[in-house]
C-alpha cells in the first residue's frame, strides 16, 4: 500500500470511530456519506454496473436485478436470470451493502469485490464467464483506455480490475439524509409523534438486538424463527448451506432496514409484500410477541423514516461495441 493510501485509510477509520462514538447511546447510528478513494474508478465501475454486455444474453446487467431506480432491488419475490430462469432467493438491496459484515444471505462472499465476480459467471444470473467478460471489454478500445487510465497498467483488462471498479462504485451507494438520521442528528421535528413512538417500540421490544448499527441490520447472522419456525416452501437453509451444520439451519444475514419501504417483497423467500405483515411475523417468530394493529402501524411508520437520499447521478453512456466484440446470445 502506498503511504498516501495508508494515511487516507487511517483518517477514514478515525473519523468513523468518532462518528460512531457520538451516537453510541442509540442502537442505530446515522449513515455517513461515501468515502471516495478514486472518482475515476467509481465512474468506470458505474459503467460496468449498467453494462448488459457482461451477460451472455447481452440483456442483463447488475442494474437489472439491483435497480437503482427502485431501492437497489428488482421488487420481485425472486429474480429473473438468463433465459427467464427463476432465481432461488430474493435479491437484497445493493444500497448500503458496503456496511454489511459479509455479502449474500449466507455471507459466502467476504466483501463487495469478492461478491462482484459471482453474478457474471452464475449460470442462473448473467450466465457469462470471467474470460468472456474480459475478452469483451478488451475488444472495446474505449474501455481498454479507461481501465488503463484508472489502474495505470499497460496490459489488458483482467477480472480483478473489473470487480475492483464495480466494488468502488457500490461503495458510493450509501443513503444518508433520511428523516430518521436528521432526528438522530438533533432535528427533533424531523419525526412525528407516531414515528417516534414506533422507534421506541422497535427499541424497547428488542428488534434492535438484531437490527442495529448504521445499516439497521447487516451486522450479524441470526436464526429466522427464534421462537417459532418460519413456514416457507423455499429450499434455502442459510449458513447451513455452506457449513452443513444443523445449528446453522435458517441462519441468515440480518437484512438492512434502511430504505425498507422501497425494498419489498421481504424475507429471503420474498414471500411477504407488506411491511405490516413483515413486522407482525418478526414480532411473533423472533420475539414471541403479538403486536396490536396500532403498534404495528407505529413501527411501520418508523421504518418508513429510514428511507435516505437515493443515489443521484447521470446515467453512464457506454462505449459502443466494435467489429471484434463477441455478439450477445440471448436465445441459447
Ligand atoms: C439475475 C439477478 C441478479 C443479477 C444480474 C445480479 N444480482 Fe446481485 N444478487 C442477486 C441475488 C438473488 C442475490 C442474493 C443471493 C444470495 O444471497 O444467495 C444477490 C446478492 C448481491 C449482493 C449482496 C447483498 C447483500 O446484502 O448480501 C450484492 C452486493 C450484489 N448482489 C451485487 C451485484 C452486482 C455488482 C451485480 C453485477 C455484477 C449483480 N449483483 C448482479 C441477484 C442478481
Ligand atoms: C433474532 C434476531 C431478529 C430480531 C429480534 C428481529 N429481526 Fe427482523 N430479521 C431478522 C432476520 C434474520 C431477518 C431475515 C429473515 C429471512 O429473510 O428469512 C429479518 C428480516 C426483517 C425484515 C425484512 C427485511 C427484508 O428486507 O427482507 C423486517 C422488516 C424486519 N426484520 C423487521 C423487524 C422488526 C420490526 C423486529 C422487531 C419486532 C425485528 N425485525 C426483530 C432478525 C431479527
Could you tell me the residue ranges of all domains in the chain?
Answer: 37-170, 179-306
Q: Per residue in 27-39, pLDDT tens?
A: 999 999 998 999 9
Please say whether the beta carbons of 302 and 198 come within 8 A. Answer: yes
Mean pLDDT across 3-24: 56
pLDDT of residue 95: 98
Measuring CA to CA, how many Å separate 158 from each of 55, 110, 137, 171, 210?
Answer: 16, 20, 9, 20, 39
pLDDT of 278 reads 98
* Closest-lying ligand 1 atom to the alpha carbon of residue 49: 37
Q: Which of these is catalytic: 125, 171, 195, 295?
A: 125
- Residue 142 grid coordinates: 474505449
- Name the pairing type of β-strands 251-253 and 221-223: antiparallel
44 pLDDT above the threshold of 90:
yes
Q: Which of 149, 140, 146, 166 has its CA nearest to residue 320?
A: 140
C-alpha cell at position 313: 447521478
In the prediction, which pLDDT does 255 show? 98
Nearest CA to ligand 1 atom 16: 104
Fold of 37-170: Cytochrome Bc1 Complex; Chain D, domain 2 (1.10.760)
Rg of the chain, C-alpha, whole Å: 21
Give the CATH number of domain 179-306; options: 3.30.365.10, 3.90.1150.10, 3.40.950.10, 1.10.760.10.
1.10.760.10
Q: Which atom of ligand 1 is nearest to the CA of 124?
A: 1
C-alpha cell of residue 189: 421535528
The runs of H, that is alpha helices, within 174-251 are 179-184, 193-204, 240-243
> Can 131 be counted among the known catalytic residues?
no
Residue 153 is predicted with a pLDDT of 86
Residue 1 pLDDT: 46
Peptide bond into 43 cis (omega under 30): no
CA–CA gap between residue 274 and residue 16 (Å, rounded): 34
**Mean residue pLDDT across the chain:** 93
For a mutational test of ligand 1's pocket, the pick from 107, 125, 168, 250, i.e. the residue with the most ligand atoms closer than 8 A to its C-beta, is 125
Collect all residues with Cβ–Cβ distance below 8 Å to 121 and sequence separation of at least 6. 128, 129, 130
pTM: 0.94
Q: Does 179-306 match 37-170 at the fold level?
A: yes
Q: What is the model's pLDDT at position 39?
A: 97
Could you identify the residue written with the cell 488503463? 148
Query: Nearest C-alpha to atom 10 of ligand 1 is from which residue?
Result: 91
The pLDDT of residue 332 is 78
Ligand nearest to the CA of 255: 2
Measure the CA–CA gap between 170 and 116, rounded to whole angstroms.
Answer: 10
- CA distance linking residue 206 with residue 229, whole number of Å: 19
Q: Residue 282: name the closest of 252, 262, 308 by CA.
A: 252
Hey, whose CA ends up nearest to atom 3 of ligand 1? 65
Give residue 154's pLDDT band: very low, low, confident or very high (50, 70, 90). Answer: confident
Integer angstrom CA distances of residue 35 from 53, 125, 309, 324: 29, 30, 16, 37
Amino acid at each position: 500500500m502506498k503511504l498516501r493510501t495508508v494515511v487516507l485509510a487511517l483518517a477514514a477509520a478515525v473519523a468513523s470511530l468518532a462518528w460512531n462514538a457520538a451516537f453510541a447511546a442509540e442502537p442505530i447510528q446515522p449513515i455517513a456519506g461515501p468515502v471516495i478513494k478514486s472518482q475515476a474508478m467509481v465512474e468506470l465501475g458505474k459503467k460496468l454496473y449498467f453494462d448488459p454486455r457482461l451477460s451472455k444474453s447481452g440483456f442483463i446487467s447488475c442494474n437489472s436485478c439491483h435497480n437503482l431506480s427502485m431501492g437497489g432491488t428488482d421488487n420481485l419475490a425472486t429474480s429473473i436470470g438468463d433465459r427467464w430462469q427463476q432465481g432461488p432467493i430474493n435479491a437484497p438491496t445493493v444500497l448500503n451493502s458496503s456496511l454489511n459484515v459479509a455479502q449474500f444471505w449466507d455471507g459466502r462472499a467476504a466483501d463487495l469485490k469478492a461478491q462482484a465476480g459471482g453474478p457474471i459467471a452464475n449460470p442462473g444470473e448473467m450466465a457469462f464467464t470471467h474470460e468472456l467478460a474480459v475478452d469483451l471489454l478488451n475488444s472495446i478500445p474505449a474501455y481498454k483506455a479507461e481501465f488503463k487510465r484508472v489502474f495505470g497498467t499497460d496490459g489488458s483488462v483482467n477480472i480483478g480490475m473489473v470487480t475492483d471498479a464495480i466494488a468502488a462504485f457500490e461503495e458510493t451507494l450509501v443513503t444518508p439524509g433520511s428523516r430518521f438520521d436528521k432526528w438522530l442528528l438533533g432535528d427533533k421535528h424531523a419525526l412525528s409523534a407516531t414515528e417516534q413512538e414506533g422507534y421506541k417500540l422497535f427499541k424497547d421490544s428488542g428488534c434492535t438486538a438484531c437490527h442495529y448499527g448504521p445499516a439497521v441490520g447487516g451486522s450479524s447472522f441470526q436464526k429466522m424463527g427464534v421462537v417459532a419456525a418460519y413456514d416457507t416452501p423455499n429450499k434455502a437453509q442459510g449458513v447451513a448451506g455452506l457449513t452443513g451444520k444443523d445449528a446453522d439451519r435458517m441462519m441468515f444475514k440480518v437484512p438492512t432496514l434502511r430504505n425498507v419501504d422501497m425494498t419489498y417483497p421481504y424475507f429471503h423467500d420474498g414471500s411477504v409484500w407488506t411491511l405490516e405483515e413483515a413486522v407482525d411475523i418478526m414480532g411473533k417468530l423472533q420475539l414471541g410477541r403479538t403486536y396490536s394493529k396500532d403498534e404495528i402501524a407505529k413501527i411501520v411508520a418508523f421504518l418508513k423514516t429510514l428511507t435516505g437520499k437515493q443515489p443521484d447521478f447521470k446515467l453512464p453512456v457506454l462505449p459502443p461495441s466494435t467489429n471484434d466484440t463477441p455478439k450477445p446470445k440471448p436465445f441459447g
